[in-house]
Structure 1
Amino acid sequence: MAVQLQGETRFSRRAVKVDEAIRLVVEAAEVGRHEHVPLWEAYGRYLAEPLVATTDWPPFARSGLDGFAVRSADTALASPSEPVTLRVVDTARAGELASAAVEPGTAVRIMTGGAVPLGADAVVMLEQTADALIDGRPAVCVKRATEPGQNIAPLGEEFRRGSMLAEPGTKLRPGHVALLGTFGCADVPVFARPRVAVLATGTELLPVEAPLEPGRIRDSNSAMIAALVQQNGGVPLLLGRVPDEPEAAARAIAAALALSDIIITTGGVSVGDYDVMASLLAGLPAAGTGTEAGQAPAASEPSAPAATSAPTTAAAPSTSAELPPGSRLLFNKAAMRPGSPTSAAVVGGKLLLALSGNPGACFVGFELFARPALRRLQGVAAAEALPKQATAKLAAGFAKGSPHERFVRARLYTERGVLYADPLAFGKSSMMASIPDADCLIRLKPGSIGAESGAIVDVILL
């Protein structure tokens, strides 16, 4: 079929500020499916249900070290020069209960983790004792006075039955796994890993294994996005490459909807004649408006009269390629460099993120929009799903200004207690050489100039 052109509306796309665009994406990413996994597989997953302590912990008073369980009153006068001698009536190993209680003048040998026997209110450490005999029977010389409760973990010291262990949306770390195992949680309720359909658009794209051809390049973005998806808890579904044909793209998206929880495309979002994703999204109604995606409504100015709310530019030509009914556009331009044509929509009830085909811009777009969306799909609270920011000192100047916010790939390091962000070379949107070393994005405000070396800047942590 002949490729449909975008029309004049390609030049009137309204740029949404980055923070607003992230908010729209996170709100559209509905919390996902639940499943149960074995405890040993729960690390790194996000908890789907609140988990509480099933018993007091410790479930009994236990010894914190190897020594002797005693009555503190019996040791009140003990000292290295005048030790107190107590008769040893039993031994309490870990996992066993002493058969004898501690009565005045007696002690029980106890091991770390052992249950403190009845009558004892303290444990004296082994190093502060010496073996002895009383009438030929085992005894112990205590060389140091003890206080009530000394070296004993009391019943319920850490947790009371019913107290919260972890809230839904918590990313489970090894410490959580230990807690859950302690309380008998063998199968852990977690959010299912989001299934992420990855589609690369562009007739110029070749498979990674293919030899280069004149005017064509290999599809490296799909593999990069798959790696980023896995890094963020998702399951990538690489669905191949789509030519610059709206009908082919619409069919590919329809197939992806049946397989996935979220769709990420790369390429085809700019203002070129053959930018297929921009063409497809152009006919969608914008969220909260009655206008089509490619139009810049005058209603974006609150004081504008109603008569001026109609678009002043012609709509994009209609195409026989259609997205499912009820689909809506979130935005088709973000006020950012690189990657301003980045777009997002809800298609068939699922989030679609259309990222730039330029590798650098694709990487930035994923970190700003796809990462928060994947976190939200895994039950992370909306506020917690947002990109994590810090402040750092600029290690080198960045002179280039921008009419929009600029996100510069950079490397973080600390020197004399100060966090520095060092802009990486090869930072253009089409360049990929700096992507492997980037562990943050410097966030520069719009303006005619960039920022000088030593300036304090916001950074998004990757």
Structure 2
Amino acid sequence: MNNTALTNEDKFRRQAVAVEAAQARIMPFVVPSGTEQVKLAESMGRILAEDVVAPHPYPFFRRSGMDGYAVKSSDTEYCHAEEPVLLQVVDNIPCGSLPSVPIVPGTAARIMTGAKVPDEADAVVMLEMTEPEIQDGRTYIKLKRPISSGLNITPVGYEISAGDRLLEKGRKLSAGEISVLATFGLASVPVMKRPRVAVLSTGSELLEVDEPLQDGKIRNSNTYMLASQIIEAGGDPHLLEAIPDHLDKARWIIEQALTDYDVVITTGGVSVGDYDIMADLVKGPDVEMLFNKVTMRPGSVTTAAVKNGKLLFALSGNPGACFVGFELFVRPLLGGMLGREKPFLAEIRAELGSDYMKINNFTRFVRGRLDLSNGKVIAYPAVLDESSVMVTIKDSDVLIVIPPTTTGIQAGQPVKVLKLPGGGW
């Protein structure tokens, strides 16, 4: 038997492992990506490298919750409609300004929302509860009911005390987190370095996206899809040259990528055809095969190997399978490298929204969408979920987990779903 026959025979002898087992084989190779300081304005989407504590309380001063008048509540203790109290207005405090006149009994200060309340005042009366009055050229306000101490004043430290933890290590920074950091004057942020991820494609059938369409060929969409997934997961994608259908040259390109980058992903070339070379590339005394078949659809021939502590993922060339393979295996690795406490896709329970009658000997990860109906979370499978189908990826916010079945699953049955990033749930 010749070497080609032996190689193909080996491809057919792949030993399948469960998804959870495959994930477990990957995670021991997680290596922290390191840390760096970035400007706050450039921190969107980055992963916090350490806990951030409040350097001061917030609010830092007592602030008014209303447009109105700062008063001493004791001045209003006995007033009522038949016997109102008059308080002389002695100051005007816009937001951002400081009180200029002490508040003494019988006086009040006009104040704007968010402005600093005078130290002597213990309440703010909203503007609508007062009546202006002029006497002897002086401005007064008339109050007709008692005012409670503390009314409409936000105290120091109401939201955060000095030393409180503002944000925890491993948190992804978005608009809310950045607002908090800016509020406390943190102009730079300690974040995890983005893992540098090389992306390579295989297959002579691929065209670049700017090439004219040719009969029998398809445009190379997977690398751009993967680059987007890498960015969303916190990595730094690098799109490299395509891998040729020449084993020695392909091996050199992969080895160089593993030297230069933290993680390497290939797409295509992992099936059992004569021209699918990734199975051959992950063999050798210096490469540790983690798995080369997974009991899942799509993407059962997803492959992972490690060399010198770095992971190589060989994902399917079919868009649907490539997408799922990244979400199940590459995303958790990157999340672990970035220090994320929960690197795997979040799981929820839902009710299947329509019949799924495909017979499966492997677990299926079906693209789908969630809906809320009568208080129930409903998961609707995509009509087209084949491995080669790419158009339904854009309409999916979950992967619906369909266990092996000889009969299919009917609508109304409970199912586990994995939430995809960017979904509304």
> How does the TM-score come out when normalised to structure 1?
0.84
Amino acid at match of 1:352: L
Deviation at 1:413, TM superposition (A): 2.5
Q: SS of 2:21's equivalent?
A: helix
Amino acid at match of 1:373: L
Q: Are positions 1:378 and 2:379 aligned together? A: no
Determine if contact 1:6/1:271 at 8 Å carries over to the other structure.
no
Amino acid at match of 1:142: L
Deviation at 1:211, TM superposition (A): 4.5
> Which residue number in structure 2 is paired with residue 35 of structure 1?
36
> Which residue number in structure 1 is paired with residue 382 of structure 2?
424
Cα-to-partner distance string for 1:123-180 (whole Å, 9 max, x where unaligned): 1111111112454322211233211111111111111111111111111121211111
Q: Are positions 1:412 and 2:412 aligned together? A: no
> Which residue number in structure 1 is paired with residue 419 of structure 2?
461
> Which residue number in structure 2 is paired with residue 236 of structure 1?
237
Determine if contact 2:29/2:309 at 8 Å carries over to the other structure.
no
Q: Are positions 1:87 and 2:47 aligned together? A: no
Distance in 2 (alpha carbons) for counterparts of 1:410 and 1:8: 36
Cα-to-partner distance string for 1:399-444 (whole Å, 9 max, x where unaligned): 1222221111223223333322222233221232322322221101
Distance in 2 (alpha carbons) for counterparts of 1:374 and 1:448: 36
Amino acid at match of 2:254: I
Q: Are positions 1:67 and 2:27 aligned together? A: no
Q: Are positions 1:363 and 2:323 aligned together? A: yes
Distance in 1 (alpha carbons) for counterparts of 2:216 and 2:178: 52
Cα-to-partner distance string for 1:44-81 (whole Å, 9 max, x where unaligned): 22111221111111111111111111111111223344
Q: Are positions 1:142 and 2:102 aligned together? A: no
Matches within 5 A, 1:239-258: 239-258=240-259
Amino acid at match of 2:368: A
Change beyond 3 A, Cα 1:136–1:10 = same
Distance in 2 (alpha carbons) for counterparts of 1:214 and 1:107: 83
Q: SS of 2:252's equivalent?
A: helix
Consecutive unaligned residues in structure 1, runs of 5 or more: 285-324
Change beyond 3 A, Cα 1:153–1:146 = same
Q: Are positions 1:346 and 2:306 aligned together? A: yes
Q: SS of 1:400's equivalent?
A: coil
User: Which range moves more in the overlay, 201-210 or 102-111?
Assistant: 201-210
User: Which range moves more in the overlay, 412-421 or 45-54?
Assistant: 412-421
Q: SS of 1:447's equivalent?
A: coil
Q: SS of 1:240's equivalent?
A: coil
Determine if contact 1:122/1:146 at 8 Å carries over to the other structure.
yes
Change beyond 3 A, Cα 1:273–1:152 = same
Matches within 5 A, 1:211-222: 211=212, 216-222=217-223
Change beyond 3 A, Cα 1:432–1:102 = same
Q: SS of 1:339's equivalent?
A: coil
User: Which range moves more in the overlay, 164-173 or 241-250?
Assistant: 241-250
Change beyond 3 A, Cα 1:208–1:43 = closer
Determine if contact 2:8/2:272 at 8 Å carries over to the other structure.
no
Deviation at 1:7, TM superposition (A): 5.3
Deviation at 1:86, TM superposition (A): 1.3
Q: SS of 1:409's equivalent?
A: strand
Deviation at 1:212, TM superposition (A): 5.3
Determine if contact 2:8/2:273 at 8 Å carries over to the other structure.
no
Matches within 5 A, 1:100-139: 100-139=101-140
Amino acid at match of 1:453: A
Alignment length (residue pairs): 418
Q: SS of 1:401's equivalent?
A: coil
> Which residue number in structure 1 is paired with residue 353 of structure 2?
395
Q: SS of 1:441's equivalent?
A: strand
Q: Are positions 1:56 and 2:73 aligned together? A: no
Determine if contact 1:263/1:353 at 8 Å carries over to the other structure.
yes
> Which residue number in structure 2 is paired with residue 16 of structure 1?
17
Distance in 2 (alpha carbons) for counterparts of 1:63 and 1:211: 64
Q: SS of 1:340's equivalent?
A: coil
Change beyond 3 A, Cα 1:328–1:79 = farther
Change beyond 3 A, Cα 1:215–1:86 = closer
Determine if contact 1:4/1:245 at 8 Å carries over to the other structure.
no
> Which residue number in structure 2 is paired with residue 298 of structure 1?
none
Q: SS of 1:345's equivalent?
A: strand
Q: SS of 1:449's equivalent?
A: coil
Change beyond 3 A, Cα 1:141–1:199 = same
Q: SS of 1:43's equivalent?
A: coil
Deviation at 1:3, TM superposition (A): 7.1
Paired residue for 1:442, among 395, 400, 406?
A: 400
Identity of aligned residues (%): 48
Cα-to-partner distance string for 1:94-123 (whole Å, 9 max, x where unaligned): 222223222222222222222221221111
> How does the TM-score come out when normalised to structure 2?
0.91
Q: SS of 2:391's equivalent?
A: coil
Q: SS of 2:241's equivalent?
A: strand
RMSD after superposition? 2.3
Consecutive unaligned residues in structure 2, runs of 5 or more: 421-425
Change beyond 3 A, Cα 1:328–1:146 = farther
> Which residue number in structure 1 is paired with residue 283 of structure 2?
282
Deviation at 1:215, TM superposition (A): 5.0
Distance in 1 (alpha carbons) for counterparts of 2:71 and 2:394: 61
Deviation at 1:375, TM superposition (A): 2.6
Determine if contact 1:5/1:273 at 8 Å carries over to the other structure.
no
Change beyond 3 A, Cα 1:97–1:403 = same
Distance in 1 (alpha carbons) for counterparts of 2:231 and 2:416: 27
Q: SS of 1:412's equivalent?
A: strand
Q: SS of 1:407's equivalent?
A: strand
Deviation at 1:241, TM superposition (A): 1.3
Distance in 2 (alpha carbons) for counterparts of 1:80 and 1:19: 73
Q: SS of 2:394's equivalent?
A: coil
Determine if contact 2:65/2:154 at 8 Å carries over to the other structure.
yes
Q: SS of 2:108's equivalent?
A: strand
Change beyond 3 A, Cα 1:56–1:218 = closer
User: Which range moves more in the overlay, 157-166 or 223-232?
Assistant: 223-232
Determine if contact 1:124/1:146 at 8 Å carries over to the other structure.
yes
Distance in 2 (alpha carbons) for counterparts of 1:56 and 1:418: 42
Q: SS of 1:158's equivalent?
A: coil
Distance in 1 (alpha carbons) for counterparts of 2:14 and 2:318: 19
